[in-house]
């Protein structure tokens, strides 16, 4: 009897395949739509500038209707300020990760310069520049983006000043290194908009590191 027994068939998948797909929650769909819109905003801002950015163009880029976009954001200023906040929140998180890494303890000055390059040589800084220039003559936009940028700068400054002090720099030395490095890298970032050779920046940054290490003895 057992010799004639048929081999067992695999379990039927008909019941599993007939189940309806799991539907995303409304909260998930709303979050995903906002993320697409914010990403599209940055893309359009980078391509067209603030003056050329329209909610219709952003909606097309995000793959949503203009009505759906306006459901999330009531105005162009609100839209771009939300996108700006997303940029800086991501930058703060990246900074937090960097500060927790071994490179900061081993070479804090070099790590700070590397982070500045990562922030200001990347395309979101171009989008931020677009907003800063536009906000100069747009009080509503300035009111929206100034607190975002100030929060980012104050938070990042406090983090790195603490690192520098722990490495043995005085309060004056730490403040000067931070301010001068920021101004140097941001100036280079603006120069890059005119396609000035990046090899010059590399040479200048190497020289700046040499000056810092010659003038400041960092406690390892």
Question: 126-138 b/e with 16+ CB inside 10 Å = b?
Answer: bbbbbbbebbeeb
Report the run of H or E that residue 93 belongs to, with start and end.
helix 76-99
Is pLDDT larger for residue 164 or for residue 2?
164
Closest CA relative to residue 84, chosen from 148, 130, 156 = 148
Q: Residue 154 above 70 pLDDT? A: yes
Query: pLDDT, tens digit, for every residue of 69-85?
Result: 988 898 899 999 999 89
Residue 112 and residue 160 in contact, taking contact as beta carbons nearer than 8 Å? yes
CA pair distance 48, 54, nearest whole angstrom = 9
Closest CA relative to residue 76, chosen from 92, 99, 93, 52 = 52
pTM of the complete model: 0.78
As a whole number, mean pLDDT of residues 98-127 equals: 88
Query: pLDDT, tens digit, for every residue of 110-123?
Result: 999 999 998 888 87
Mean pLDDT over each residue of the chain, to the nearest integer? 84
Q: Residue 89 above 70 pLDDT? A: yes
Query: pLDDT, tens digit, for every residue of 7-64?
Result: 455 445 455 555 655 566 777 877 888 999 999 998 898 888 888 999 999 999 999 9
């Amino acid at each position: 009897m057992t010799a004639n027994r048929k081999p067992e068939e695999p379990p039927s998948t008909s019941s599993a395949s007939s189940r309806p797909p799991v539907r995303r929650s409304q909260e998930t769909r709303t979050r995903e739509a906002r993320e697409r819109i914010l990403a599209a905003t940055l893309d359009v801002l980078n391509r067209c500038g603030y003056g050329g950015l329209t909610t219709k163009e952003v909606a097309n880029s995000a793959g949503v209707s203009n009505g759906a976009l306006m459901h999330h954001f009531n105005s162009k200023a609100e839209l771009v300020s939300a996108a700006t906040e997303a940029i800086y929140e991501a930058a703060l998180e990246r900074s937090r990760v960097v500060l927790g890494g071994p490179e900061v303890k081993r070479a804090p000055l070099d790590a700070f310069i590397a982070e500045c390059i990562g922030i200001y040589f990347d395309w979101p800084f171009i989008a931020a520049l677009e907003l800063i220039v536009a906000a100069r003559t747009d009080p509503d936009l300035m009111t929206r983006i100034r607190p975002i940028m100030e929060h980012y700068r104050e938070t990042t400054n406090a983090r790195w000043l603490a690192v520098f002090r722990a490495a043995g720099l005085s309060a004056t030395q730490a403040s000067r290194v931070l301010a001068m490095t920021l101004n140097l890298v941001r100036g280079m970032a603006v120069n890059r908009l005119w396609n000035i050779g990046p090899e010059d920046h590399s040479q200048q940054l190497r020289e700046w590191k040499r000056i810092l290490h010659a003038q400041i003895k960092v406690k390892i």
